[in-house]
Amino acid sequence: MSSKKRKRWSPPPPPGPKFCCARCFDDDVLTEFIAKTATYEDMCWYCGNRGKLVGARKLQPLFRPLIEAYEEATPGAFLSRLLRKDWDIFAPVSSRKAGWLLENILDDPKFNTAKFRRREPAQPVPAWDWREIQREIIERNRWFHKTQIETERFEKLLKAVAVTADKLDMNWFRARLIEDGDAPYPADKMKSPPKENATGGRANPVRIPYLYLNSDVDTTINEIRPHAGEKLRIARFKLRPVKLVDLTRTRKSHLSPFKYDDVGLIRMHLQDASFLDVLNKALSDPIIPSRREYEYLPTQFICEFIKNQEFQGVLYRSHFGAGTNLVLFDDANAEVTGLRTDKISNVHAQHDCDPGGSSQEESWEPVLPVSNANPGHKEPNKADVSAAEQKNHSREAISGLARLAVASNALASTVGVGNEKEN
């Protein structure tokens, strides 16, 4: 009998750095490509997840046009870090492993060890300057602008980041504080406020009410910032067929660099994506109440332009929660499907709602369709002009949009009822 001890079985090591999976990247084009071409399933060496793996070099044709937008330089930065900063491609992977992954994709160690910078184009692409647009509208010319937005380029950019309601198969929520002694609000009071009560918001001018919604209950409560002991009326909404501008996934999906094989387009879309990020931040960041009258003017101007491009709303990230905010230009495009009353138990806004708001259907009060509950409700008006006429009207009105927003805000002093929390 042999005296040698039998070795304990252990699983084989991961396939190693020559293979990667869809979870190594945060880009819709790459993940879709890997899902279609992956050959077998195992542990991924880069992200540590088990999934379908693909040879890293198979991604080389997708990366080559993007790499042409960069050049070796000293001083500079590692290319993997530049790509993470500019496009957020390697978000799920550590910086060190992202460098190794890029080396294996391009089959060249210099892309992991050398320093790079963005290559200067022969013909520079005009950059968006949000600060200059803000200064123009707030401090210089409120009616006739010398600093103009590139209208045609902005129109194309909005179309590139458009989404429809069927891509957002989810519930949306809105909350209102219930004053002591008041009855819970009915469904028709959970929509946008009457125009005579509508103060200026980050998207809407004074007396032009929009409907502000959130993607989950936690976010809608955090946006109101209630105190412990206060009661909230929460409404659940379902969207009608709408077309929206989505500022939340510009790099990952809409403006992915892997959609293009032209370096010039990649450079331009990097600027476009950065500009949309700035717009998203401008819509999300809180503003000191005393500055609202003028700080909201630039975002009101942009939203008015978007509205005139036949979009029904804008999606942007929430500053106070992990969810997404949605502003609808016409509240007839959302239907109340449920109501509930909740009480805030502490300053951290803990409550009894389930975060998704839909897994406990019995916790929601049933609501009749808005059209039945309110016979006077009107559906959105259909334009009587053609799409071409609407576009021309938008271009002619671009300089006057800020004037309308300023004139509307000038009425704020005459409005008796504020509703910053209601908006």
In tens digits, what is the pLDDT along the chain, a chain of 423 residues?
A: 455 556 655 555 455 689 999 999 999 899 999 999 998 899 999 999 999 999 999 999 999 999 999 999 999 999 999 999 999 898 788 999 999 999 999 999 999 999 999 998 776 667 788 888 889 999 998 777 777 778 888 999 999 899 998 888 789 999 999 998 899 999 999 999 999 999 999 999 999 999 999 999 999 999 888 888 899 999 999 999 999 999 998 777 778 999 888 888 898 888 898 899 999 999 999 888 888 889 999 999 999 999 999 999 999 999 988 899 999 999 999 999 999 999 888 655 455 544 444 445 667 887 865 444 444 444 444 333 334 344 444 443 444 444 334 334 433 333 333 334 444
Q: Is there a single domain that holds both residue 112 and residue 150?
A: no
The whole-angstrom separation of Cα 208 and Cα 193 is 9
Q: Is there a single domain that holds both residue 180 and residue 109?
A: no
State which residues form the domain around 405. 130-414
The whole-angstrom separation of Cα 86 and Cα 112 is 17
Q: Is there a single domain that holds both residue 53 and residue 147?
A: no
Of the three residues 61, 85, 118, the one that is the final residue of a domain is 118
Tell me whether residue 2 is in a domain: no
pLDDT of residue 170: 82
- Which run of H or E residues covers position 102? helix 95-106
Q: Is there a single domain that holds both residue 191 and residue 309?
A: yes
Tell me whether residue 157 is in a domain: yes
The whole-angstrom separation of Cα 55 and Cα 49 is 16
Tell me whether residue 56 is in a domain: yes
Tell me whether residue 279 is in a domain: yes
Tell me whether residue 6 is in a domain: no
User: In the chain, how many H helices and how many E strands?
Assistant: 13, 14
Q: Is there a single domain that holds both residue 39 and residue 158?
A: no
Q: Is there a single domain that holds both residue 58 and residue 151?
A: no
Tell me whether residue 423 is in a domain: no
Q: Spell out a b/e string for 322-335, using b for 16 or more CB atoms within 10 Å of the CB, else e.
A: ebbbbbbbbbbbbb
Q: Is there a single domain that holds both residue 141 and residue 223?
A: yes
Q: Is there a single domain that holds both residue 212 and residue 323?
A: yes
Question: What is the count of structural domains for the chain?
Answer: 2
Tell me whether residue 318 is in a domain: yes
- Bridge partners for 336 per DSSP: 237
Predicted structure pTM score? 0.76
pLDDT of residue 175: 96
Q: Is there a single domain that holds both residue 82 and residue 190?
A: no
Q: Is there a single domain that holds both residue 143 and residue 114?
A: no
Q: Is there a single domain that holds both residue 60 and residue 81?
A: yes
Q: Is there a single domain that holds both residue 95 and residue 27?
A: yes
Tell me whether residue 3 is in a domain: no
pLDDT of residue 361: 65
Of the three residues 62, 84, 118, the one that is the final residue of a domain is 118
Of the three residues 85, 118, 151, the one that is the final residue of a domain is 118
